[in-house]
Amino acid sequence: MRYEQYRKLSKVTLGKAKADLVFKNCRLVDVFTGEIVKSSIAVKDGLIVGVSKSYRGKKEIDLKGKYVAPGFIDAHLHLESCMVSPNETVTTAARQGTTTFIVDPHEAANVSGADGIDYVLDQTEKSPANVFVMLPSCVPATDIDDNGCLFSANDMYTYVSNPRVLGLAECMDDFAVINADPRMFAKMALFAHRTIDGHAPYLPNKELSAYRMAGVETDHEATSFEYALEEVRRGIHVHIREGSAAHNLDAIVKGIVKTGIDTEHFSFCTDDKHIEDILREGHISYNVRRAIELGIPPVEAIKMATINTAKLYGLKHLGAISPGCQADLVIMDDLKKVRITDVYFRGERIPQRGKIPVRKCPAHLKHTVNIHKVHAKDFVLPITKSKTHVISINHGQITTLDIEVALKKCKNFTPDKVYSKIAAIERHKNLSKLGVAVAKGYGITGGAIASTVSHDSHNIIVIGDNDADMAIAVNELHRVQGGFTLVANGKVFDTLPLPVMGLMSDAGFESVDRHLKRMKKKALEMGVHQDVDPFVTLSFLALPVIPELRITPRGLYKMDEKGLRKID
């Protein structure tokens, strides 16, 4: 703390002056000792200056025995995946108790490079929460990705000294790390004394050890407790993910409870969570609540949402209720149910209602879909072999399986209720690349669904049961310059425009929610499986760094312990 600041604040701490605000008669969640302490909290200039029943303030709030916890921290997320302006997502989640966000803007960077990162920083500068950034490490994610921009180590230099930049974001190209690719290590060297995030959905023991030895400190891709345990044993901090598409919390937390292992090296993250889900069930507050329901003691669950993450990323002023920490506070009248009554950011109450402002987007970020018109004939898929590799969707997860199916040989595959046709189209540089394959587990009949949200290169991805509707869907996305669209029986049923880099809307959440609800209802009527989010699930089926099988504009690729390779 600076000298002049200390001199000013210490007068309150020492009882020589009144605090700006004192929370009286509270039950404080002490993340250092694991206790619930009856006390009062004094706040001055947005900081906690004392914890004692003796403090007096210019304003005093009697909490009448309510619980007070540090503001929750989301250890890893992509704001772009929420499809609305970044400030809308941050404010909505802040109202639910998340006061710190550690953001990886690689979705924006894959489309628009440094301009995309600047957009996320600018849009959240005045949000009612702490928004930090991890610099994207893999733009593009792999050498076979056809994305919009390159973001190299040289491009990172101007960001390294930014106080809102904490480290290097998820190293998705784990094989580049393990095999000592000099381009990857040039990026890692910039953050040798800061946190480097990982992305390791499946690595055998020796490779996982090499990944950690290279400097990677975290991972959010564990889907089972067994794998999470192997990571923690090697010193990798596990972010337990629970978002709109990936639901990993139950499996990992049940394992923690069963074995009784230390929770110090576990945190919570959402990765990708839409506003309608945040409003319905909460944000990190949901992770805490669900962990408690599964048997984690309430204070331990809160530590996983606060101090564990703060320590990992060197955020000494966050994650605890302690003198010198920022006054980011979550007030609850029921600790076990995590029933939140109020949230404070820097000592100011966050209003629970009211319109959230949307800042203007630069014009050049709104014209990013560059393709020629497509036709039904572009989606022809001959079946020539006795067995065909099929993308099998794992419901409730973002992983897939590679299954080999004996489909009837033909000049053009005809989908049915079981097997859909799926395609990915390069949309950044008009390269006319288009890959087609077969998918199982989606279930659509009588039409097609398409999206420009297609991790992580964000090309166009489309799935359907006939070539004509698939072509209509792709051309519709070109017309609106990005978004989601649903075509039924030869006509566009509805389209959600996402004109900001083809990823986000600046029309406000209400507009996004209205379109999504209408299209999701229609998608279910068209046979999409009830455990499949029509848009979130689809958006991950082009991500080649996740096991096992993915469609890309270059064709079908498989990721497993042998690496990434094309499937003919």
In this predicted model, what pLDDT tens digit does every residue of 51-72 receive, in sequence order?
A: 999 999 999 999 999 999 999 9
Task: Return d(Cα 148, Cα 135) in angstroms, integer.
Answer: 17
Per-residue pLDDT at 126 exceeds 90:
yes
- What sections of 246-384 are H helices per DSSP? 249-259, 275-281, 284-293, 298-304, 307-312
Do residues 202 and 547 touch, judged by C-beta distance below 8 A? yes
% of the chain surpassing 70 pLDDT: 100
Q: What is the DSSP string of 101-150?
A: EEE--HHHHHHHTHHHHHHHHHHTTTSSSEEEEEEPS-SSSSTT---S--
Give pLDDT, residue 205. 93
Give pLDDT, residue 550. 96
Task: Return d(Cα 69, Cα 63) in angstroms, integer.
Answer: 13
Task: Report the relative pairing of strands 555-560 and 549-552 from DSSP bridges.
Answer: antiparallel
Task: Return d(Cα 393, Cα 59) in angstroms, integer.
Answer: 55
**pLDDT digits over 195-252, tens only?**
999 999 889 999 999 999 999 999 999 999 999 999 999 999 999 999 987 899 999 9
Per-residue pLDDT at 396 exceeds 80:
no
Give pLDDT, residue 546. 87
Give pLDDT, residue 359. 86
**pLDDT digits over 435-465, tens only?**
999 999 999 999 999 999 999 899 999 999 9
Token look-up 């020589």 returns 16
Give pLDDT, residue 202. 82
In DSSP terms, 36 is beta-bridged to 29
Q: What is the DSSP string of 232-286?
A: HHTTPEEEEEB-SS-B-HHHHHHHHHHHT---TTEEEE-BS--HHHHHHH-SHHH
**Cα angle at 455 between 551 and 140, to 5 degrees?**
95
* pLDDT tier at 568, thresholds 50, 70, 90: confident
Helix 249-259 crosses helix 225-233 at what angle (to 10 degrees)?
Answer: 60
Query: In sequence order, what are the residues at sequence separation of 6 or more whose Cβ sits closer than 8 angstroms to the Cβ of residue 410?
Result: 382, 383
- What sections of 360-450 are H helices per DSSP? none
Do residues 322 and 32 touch, judged by C-beta distance below 8 A? yes
Give pLDDT, residue 122. 97
Bond into 548 cis (ω within 30): yes
Do residues 498 and 482 touch, judged by C-beta distance below 8 A? yes
Give pLDDT, residue 216. 98
Structure tokens at 16: 């020589």
Give pLDDT, residue 309. 98
**pLDDT digits over 157-201, tens only?**
999 999 999 999 999 999 899 999 999 999 999 999 999 999 998
C-alpha distances in Å from residue 313, one per residue of 72, 73, 132, 166, 303: 14, 11, 10, 7, 14
Q: What is the separation, in whole angstroms, between the first and last Cα of the chain?
A: 60
Domains delineated in the chain: 71-317 (3.20.20.140), 364-567 (no CATH)
C-alpha distances in Å from residue 558, one per residue of 60, 439, 547, 563: 60, 14, 7, 8
* pLDDT tier at 557, thresholds 50, 70, 90: very high
Rg (CA), the chain: 24
Give pLDDT, residue 276. 87
**Mean pLDDT, residues 480-497:** 97
**pLDDT digits over 298-314, tens only?**
999 999 999 999 999 99
**Mean pLDDT, residues 17-39:** 97
Do residues 423 and 462 touch, judged by C-beta distance below 8 A? yes
Q: Which helix (H) or strand (E) holds 7?
A: helix 3-13
Do residues 109 and 139 touch, judged by C-beta distance below 8 A? yes
Task: Return d(Cα 106, Cα 111) in angstroms, integer.
Answer: 9
* pLDDT tier at 367, thresholds 50, 70, 90: very high
Q: Which helix (H) or strand (E) holds 189?
A: helix 182-190
* pLDDT tier at 562, thresholds 50, 70, 90: confident
Task: Return d(Cα 12, Cα 9) in angstroms, integer.
Answer: 6
In DSSP terms, 266 is beta-bridged to 238
Task: Return d(Cα 407, Cα 420) in angstroms, integer.
Answer: 12
Of 513, 512, 497, 495, the C-alpha closest to 368 is 497
SS3 category, 89: helix
DSSP 500: B
Q: Which helix (H) or strand (E) holds 412?
A: none
- What sections of 351-483 are H helices per DSSP? 467-480
Structure tokens at 106: 């690689």
Give pLDDT, residue 357. 87
Structure tokens at 159: 């960001």
Model pTM greater than 0.95? no
Give pLDDT, residue 536. 87
Q: Is 523 exposed, middle or buried (0-12, 13-18, 19+ CB in 10 A)?
A: buried
DSSP 209: H
**Sequence letter at residue 225:** F
Of 433, 398, 417, 396, the C-alpha closest to 549 is 398
pLDDT mean across residues, the chain: 96
Per-residue pLDDT at 561 exceeds 80:
no
Q: For 154, phi and psi rounded to 5 degrees? A: -60, -35
How many Cβ atoms from other residues are within 10 Å of residue 252's Cβ? 24
Task: Return d(Cα 496, Cα 179) in angstroms, integer.
Answer: 42
Of 170, 90, 95, 160, the C-alpha closest to 130 is 90
Give pLDDT, residue 560. 83
SS3 category, 503: coil
In DSSP terms, 62 is beta-bridged to 24
DSSP 508: -
**Mean pLDDT, residues 374-380:** 98
Do residues 322 and 311 touch, judged by C-beta distance below 8 A? no
Give pLDDT, residue 198. 97
Give pLDDT, residue 342. 98
